[in-house]
C-alpha cells in the first residue's frame, strides 16, 4: 500500500522522472485488508489495486528481493545487481511476529500476505477446528471469518483480555463477550507452551484440539535488510523518520508500517501499523521529494496525522481515531453491553482519541474535533444523545 501510493502520489503531484517500484512478492501490488475478509472467504480471488502502472509510467520489479542499501553510493543491492536511485522511499511494511518454536511446523499459519490467505482458504473450506493464538485485531478478524465459514474456533490469549496491547482494560473488557456471541471460545491468561500434531498445549498443561493454528501475536517493522546501511532505526526496529518522513540518510525517505515519525500533536514518536497511515504518509513523502528535486529549498511538508483505523469483527464495525496514550479522562458514550457505543479520551478537556463501535457519526465528528484540537464539555461529551460536535466548550 505505502509503496504503491508513493509512486502514484509522485505522478499525481506532477513528477515526470522515472519511478521504479520494487517488491519481493511476485503478485501485482495488492491491498491487505480484504485478505482477512473477502479473499479469505473465497468471495474474491485477490485484492490487486486497480491502477494502470503502465499508463502512469511506473516500472514494476516484482518478485525481486532487496538485500541492502548503500546511501553513500545511492544504490540498492539486489541479487540481480545494484539499482541506482536519486531518491529512495523505504516502504517495506511490517512482518508478523512468529510464535517461538513454530516456524515450519505443519498446520501453523500466519495471515499477512496473499499467499498466506491462499493457504488458509482450504482450512476454512474444510471447516477445520481452528485455534487462533492472539486476541488482537487480526486474531479477532480471522476468528470472525472462520466462524462465518463454519469452523469451530478457540482463541488463545496470553493477556487477561483481548486487545491488551491496544486498549485499556475497561475498554477491552466488553469486547470479550463478542467471541461467545458468535460461538468462538476465548481463553485469556493462556500461554502456548508448544504445538503438537492435532493440538495446542498450553503452559498450564491444558490441551486444545487444533486442525489448524493461526498465529496473530503482532507485527514488527520489516527493516532487517537495512543492517549495516547506517540508516537509523529505533528500539522497536522502525526507521526513525523526521517530520518530513526523511530518514537519517540523504535522499532516503520512509513511509507506512516500517517507519516511525515525531508527532507534534501528541508530543511523542508514533509507529502506526494501519492502512490509513500507508495511504496518507506517501503524499507527504512525494511532496517533499518533488520539493527537494526542485532545488529551491522549499519548506518541507510536515506529516502529523490523526491516526485512524477500523476493524470488522463479530458483526461489528469498530473504528478508532487519535492516540490515547497521554489522556487523563475517559468518557463512555452509550452502554458497552449494547450494540453501539463509543469512548472518548480527553487531555485537559481536549479530545485526543475516540473509539466508536457501531457509531460512525461519533468517529467522523470526533476525528475532525481531534484535528481541530477542540476542547469539550465532558458532561455533554458523555451524553450519547448529544452529537460530539455539539459538546465543544464555548
Measured torsion, CA atoms of residues 332, 345, 353, 259, in degrees rounded to the nearest 10 = -130
Q: What is the predicted pLDDT for the residue at 42?
A: 83
Dihedral sign for Cα 45, 51, 52, 53, please. negative
H or E segment to which residue 276 belongs: helix 275-294
Dihedral sign for Cα 212, 215, 221, 226, please. negative
Residues 177 and 273 in one domain: no
The grid cell for 238 is 522502525
Contact 356, 386 (CB under 8 A): no
The grid cell for 114 is 496473499
Residues 207 and 272 in one domain: no
Q: Alpha-carbon Rg of the chain, whole angstroms?
A: 22
Q: What is the predicted pLDDT for the residue at 97?
A: 94
Give the CA distances from residue 173 to residues 52, 188, 274, in Å, rounded to whole numbers and listed in that order: 45, 11, 23
Write out pLDDT tens, residues 21-51: 999 999 999 998 888 888 888 888 888 999 9
Q: Which of 178, 197, 215 is the last residue of a domain?
A: 215
CA–CA dist 371, 388 (Å, integer): 14
Classify residue 305: in a domain, yes or no: no
Please give the angle made by the CA atoms of 249, 235 and 265, to the nearest 5 degrees. 80
Report helix, strand or coil for 183. Answer: coil
Q: What is the mean pLDDT of residues 10-28?
A: 96
Q: Which of 215, 240, 255 is the last residue of a domain?
A: 215
CA–CA dist 2, 21 (Å, integer): 11
Residues 71 and 167 in one domain: no
Classify residue 306: in a domain, yes or no: no
CA–CA dist 247, 259 (Å, integer): 9
Q: What is the predicted pLDDT for the residue at 298?
A: 73
Q: What is the mean pLDDT of residues 149-155?
A: 96
Residues 82 and 158 in one domain: no
How confident is residue 165, by pLDDT bands cut at 50, 70 and 90?
confident
Give the CA distances from residue 284 to residues 184, 265, 291, in Å, rounded to whole numbers and listed in that order: 42, 17, 11
Q: What is the predicted pLDDT for the residue at 362?
A: 98
Q: What is the mean pLDDT of residues 327-335?
A: 96
Write out pLDDT tens, residues 332-365: 999 999 999 999 999 999 999 999 999 999 999 9
Does residue 296 register a pLDDT over 90? Answer: no
How confident is residue 293, by pLDDT bands cut at 50, 70 and 90?
confident
Does residue 295 register a pLDDT over 90? Answer: no
Write out pLDDT tens, residues 230-256: 999 999 999 999 999 999 999 999 999
Residues 244 and 192 in one domain: no
CA–CA dist 111, 213 (Å, integer): 11
Neighbours of 394 (CB within 10 A): 4
Residues 54 and 104 in one domain: no
Contact 1, 256 (CB under 8 A): yes
Backbone angles phi, psi at 335, to 5 degrees: -90, 115
CA–CA dist 168, 390 (Å, integer): 26
* Residue from 231, 196, 223 nearest 210 by CA: 196
Contact 260, 323 (CB under 8 A): no
The grid cell for 346 is 480527553
pTM, to two decimals: 0.94
CATH of the domain at 75: 3.50.50.60
CA–CA dist 57, 71 (Å, integer): 25
Domain count for the chain, please give it: 3
Residue owning grid cell 448529544: 386
Neighbours of 84 (CB within 10 A): 10
Classify residue 20: in a domain, yes or no: yes
Report helix, strand or coil for 142. Answer: helix
Write out pLDDT tens, residues 184-204: 999 999 999 999 999 999 999
Q: What is the predicted pLDDT for the residue at 183?
A: 96
Residues 114 and 254 in one domain: no
Residues 111 and 205 in one domain: yes
First vs last Cα of the chain: how many Å apart?
A: 41
Does residue 297 register a pLDDT over 70? Answer: no
Residues 330 and 273 in one domain: no
The grid cell for 204 is 498450564
Contact 97, 180 (CB under 8 A): no
Looking at the DSSP assignment, which residues form a beta bridge with residue 21?
Answer: 60
Residues 175 and 84 in one domain: no
Domain extent, residue 235, equals: 2-93+219-294
For all residues of the chain together, what is the average pLDDT? 95
Percent of the chain with pLDDT over 70: 99
Q: What is the mean pLDDT of residues 50-70?
A: 97
Classify residue 309: in a domain, yes or no: no
Classify residue 240: in a domain, yes or no: yes
Amino acid at each position: 500500500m505505502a509503496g504503491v501510493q508513493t509512486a502514484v502520489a509522485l505522478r499525481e503531484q506532477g513528477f515526470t522522472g522515472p519511478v521504479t517500484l520494487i517488491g519481493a512478492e511476485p503478485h501485482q501490488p495488492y491491498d491487505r485488508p480484504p485478505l482477512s475478509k473477502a479473499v479469505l472467504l473465497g468471495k474474491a480471488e485477490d485484492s490487486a489495486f486497480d491502477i494502470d502502472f503502465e499508463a502512469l509510467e511506473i516500472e514494476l520489479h516484482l518478485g525481486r528481493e532487496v538485500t541492502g542499501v548503500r546511501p553513500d553510493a545511492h544504490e540498492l543491492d539486489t541479487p540481480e545487481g545494484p539499482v541506482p536511485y536519486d531518491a529512495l522511499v523505504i516502504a517495506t511494511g511490517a512482518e508478523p511476529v512468529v510464535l517461538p518454536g513454530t516456524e515450519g511446523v505443519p498446520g501453523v499459519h500466519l495471515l499477512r500476505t496473499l499467499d498466506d490467505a491462499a493457504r488458509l482458504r482450504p482450512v476454512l473450506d474444510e471447516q477445520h477446528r481452528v485455534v487462533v493464538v492472539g486476541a488482537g485485531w487480526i486474531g479477532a478478524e480471522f476468528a470472525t471469518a472462520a466462524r462465518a465459514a463454519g469452523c469451530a474456533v478457540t482463541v488463545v490469549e496470553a493477556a487477561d483480555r483481548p486487545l491488551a496491547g491496544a486498549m485499556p482494560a475497561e475498554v477491552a473488557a466488553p469486547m470479550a463477550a463478542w467471541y461467545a456471541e458468535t460461538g468462538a471460545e476465548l481463553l485469556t491468561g493462556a500461554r502456548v507452551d508448544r504445538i503438537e500434531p492435532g493440538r495446542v498445549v498450553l503452559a498450564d498443561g491444558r490441551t486444545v484440539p487444533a486442525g489448524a493454528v493461526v498465529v496473530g501475536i503482532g507485527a514488527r517493522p520489516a527493516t532487517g535488510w537495512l543492517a549495516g546501511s547506517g540508516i537509523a532505526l529505533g528500539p522497536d526496529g522502525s526507521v526513525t523518520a523526521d517530520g518530513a518522513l526523511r530518514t537519517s540518510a540523504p535522499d532516503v525517505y520512509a513511509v507506512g508500517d516500517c517507519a516511525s515519525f515525531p508527532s507534534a500533536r501528541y508530543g511523542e514518536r508514533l509507529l502506526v501499523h494501519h492502512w490509513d497511515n500507508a495511504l496518507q504518509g506517501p503524499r507527504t513523502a512525494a511532496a517533499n521529494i518533488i520539493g527537494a528535486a526542485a532545488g529551491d529549498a522549499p519548506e518541507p511538508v510536515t506529516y502529523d496525522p490523526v491516526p485512524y483505523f477500523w476493524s470488522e469483527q463479530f458483526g461489528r464495525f469498530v473504528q478508532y481515531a487519535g492516540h490515547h496514550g497521554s489522556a487523563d479522562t475517559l468518557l463512555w458514550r452509550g452502554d458497552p453491553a449494547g450494540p453501539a457505543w463509543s469512548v472518548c479520551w480527553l487531555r485537559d478537556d481536549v479530545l485526543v482519541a475516540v473509539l466508536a463501535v457501531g457509531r460512525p457519526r461519533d468517529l467522523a465528528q470526533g476525528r475532525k474535533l481531534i484535528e481541530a484540537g477542540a476542547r469539550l464539555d465532558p458532561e455533554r461529551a458523555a451524553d450519547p444523545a448529544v452529537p460530539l460536535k455539539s459538546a465543544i466548550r464555548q
